[in-house]
Amino acid sequence: MHVMQIIPTGKNHKEIIKKKEKQLFFTICINQMESDWSGRWNHVRKFVERGGPFAHPDFEPSTEAIGFLQDVCKILVIGAGGLGCELLKDLALMGFRNLDVIDMDTIDVSNLNRQFLFRHKDVGKPKAEVAAEFINKRVPGCKVTPHYCQIQDYDESFYRKFHIVVCGLDSIVARRWINGMLISLLKYEDGELDQSTLIPMVDGGTEGFKGNARVILTGITACIECTLDLYPPQINFPLCTIAHTPRLPEHCIEYVRILLWPKEEPFGADVTIDGDEPDHINWIMDKSIERANEFKISGITYRLTQGVVKRIIPAVASTNAVIAAACSTEVFKLATSCCLPLNNYMNFSDIDGIYTYAFEAMKKEDCIACTNIPKALKFSDGDKLQDILTYLIDSAEYQMKSPGITTSLNGKNKTLYMQTVKSIEEKTRENLKKTLNELGLRDGQEVYIADPTTPNTITFKLTLGCNME
């Protein structure tokens, strides 16, 4: 409490001082009772009340900065899992008081080793609600508002309320969606970005002993889609290796999962593998060991078998802690300008010692999310609609999930294919077999693609060459 600054000095003011001291004493008492105690935020004040060589050029040290942090700044935390628990704890202890957290999951017993805001009694309850309640109880004055739902359940009026969005997600689709949402909030005037519409996104990700943290200033620096090729598609072992030349215990487990299970039908026809069913995992494990012995491979355990079947990448609590700390620090830097933010991508690995470095991910000139340039789709008029669909799903650049395609023909909107609504899917399925020519699509035609990876419709321009066949 900065008592001395508020009290006027000078001999003539002695009486006033006494009165004021009394008043202040009560105010401080009330504040303390509410949430603050003397010296509580000294660690934060050191950063915002002094200048320094690393500060943002616009930074002005002030005693009011902490007021912005505590009373004004609204932060949205997406995800209340391994990273989310850490993020909420870090941000609350840094003095952020207006936090919202959104998560669609409920607590599983296997979360408890690292998601430290949850206890055994919480199993089955929504993560967002339990996490919010824990922080609100534990950190006086902090108000976390939970949202037990999907990010897609809210529209732009919800996301617009926040100053900074920080993500602790394990889903790339969700990351891409929120990236698209924040980009859709940007407003431009005469081609110039109105910076007041920019909501920075701080994104953390971990996988086992590896992690990354990044700062995205939407419209200015590289966005998630600009760097989509950093997320490789899920690795599957080549089938020939699994079938003929296994070298790893995982190859043997995959052999049983992919080839033996459908052939031997150990639990009857049409019974698919349930990774949580011990009988299934035991059967797969025993068969895998048989095969591993043939090839003199060791190391197959129940845990590994289940891990391979369920595609589990073990979560490492310390990696989450490091990445969440880096992300929270970036949020603090963005909120206060006391230090320049990360530019813009930090990689971390503690597989073998500790290794980290930062680099500047470059904005892609023709990114489908953060530029308004319609992308070219090069096909021949003899290609089928299915070819476009397959391309959008398979290409490393787009990695779409279930694209829907519409266009405008003779001034009328026409749905060419849509997967998400069953009745429309049935009606438009025939179109997949038709050639682009048969569908009336011409060179230069614009098609509009909707996909779960983005809240926005993406415009493509068809470039049709002649069919050489």
Which stretch, 26-34, 61-69, 215-223, 418-426, contacts Zn ion (CB under 5 A)?
215-223
Q: Encode the chain in three state secondary structure.
A: CCHHHHCCCCHHHHHHHHHHHHHHHHHHHHHHHHCCCCCCCHHHHHHHCCCCCCCCCCCCCCCCHHHHHHHHCEEEEECCCHHHHHHHHHHHHHCCCEEEEECCCECCHHHCCCCCCCCHHHCCCEHHHHHHHHHHHHCCCCEEEEECCCHHHCCHHHHCCCCEEEEECCCHHHHHHHHHHHHHCCCEECCEECHHHCCCEEEEEEECCEEEEEEECCCCCCCCCCCHHHCCCCCCCCHHHHHHCCCCHHHHHHHHHHHHHHHHCCCCCCCCCCCCCHHHHHHHHHHHHHHHHHCCCCCCCHHHHHHHHCCCCCCCHHHHHHHHHHHHHHHHHHHHCCCCCCCCEEEEECCCCCEEEEECCCCCCCCCCCCCCCEEEEEECCCEHHHHHHHHHHCCCCCCCCCEEEEEECCEEEEEECCCCHHHHHHHHHHHHCECCCCCCCCCCEEEEECCCCCCCEEEEEEEECCCC
Least distance in Å: CB of 370 to Zn ion?
3
Q: Does the footprint of Zn ion cover residue 198 (CB under 5 A)?
A: no
| CB closer to Zn ion out of 74 and 363 | 363
| CB closer to Zn ion out of 66 and 193 | 193
| CB closer to Zn ion out of 108 and 366 | 366
Residue 436 to residue 466: CA distance in whole angstroms: 11
Residue 99 to residue 294: CA distance in whole angstroms: 56
Least distance in Å: CB of 367 to Zn ion?
3
Least distance in Å: CB of 56 to Zn ion?
24
| CB closer to Zn ion out of 177 and 379 | 177
User: With contacts defined by CB under 5 A, how many residues of the chain interact with Zn ion?
Assistant: 6
Least distance in Å: CB of 218 to Zn ion?
8
Positions in 414-433 near Zn ion (CB under 5 A) = none
Least distance in Å: CB of 226 to Zn ion?
3
| CB closer to Zn ion out of 252 and 369 | 369
Which stretch, 149-157, 225-233, 374-382, 383-391, contacts Zn ion (CB under 5 A)?
225-233
Which stretch, 80-88, 218-226, 241-249, 376-384, contacts Zn ion (CB under 5 A)?
218-226
Residue of 346, 370, 405, 441 that binds Zn ion (CB under 5 A): 370
Least distance in Å: CB of 173 to Zn ion?
16
Q: Does the footprint of Zn ion cover residue 369 (CB under 5 A)?
A: yes
| CB closer to Zn ion out of 81 and 200 | 200
| CB closer to Zn ion out of 65 and 458 | 458
Q: Does the footprint of Zn ion cover residue 199 (CB under 5 A)?
A: no
Residue of 225, 250, 254, 330 that binds Zn ion (CB under 5 A): 225
> In this structure, are strands 74-78 and 164-168 parallel, antiparallel, or unpaired?
parallel
Q: Does the footprint of Zn ion cover residue 128 (CB under 5 A)?
A: no
Q: Does the footprint of Zn ion cover residue 367 (CB under 5 A)?
A: yes
The residue whose Cβ lies closest to Zn ion is 367
Q: Does the footprint of Zn ion cover residue 178 (CB under 5 A)?
A: no
The active-site residue out of 149, 240, 339, 370 is 240
Q: Does the footprint of Zn ion cover residue 226 (CB under 5 A)?
A: yes
Concerning whether 149 is annotated as a catalytic residue, the answer is no
Residue of 65, 223, 324, 331 that binds Zn ion (CB under 5 A): 223
Which spans of this chain sit near Zn ion (rule: CB under 5 A)? 223, 225-226, 367, 369-370
Catalytic residue ranges = 240
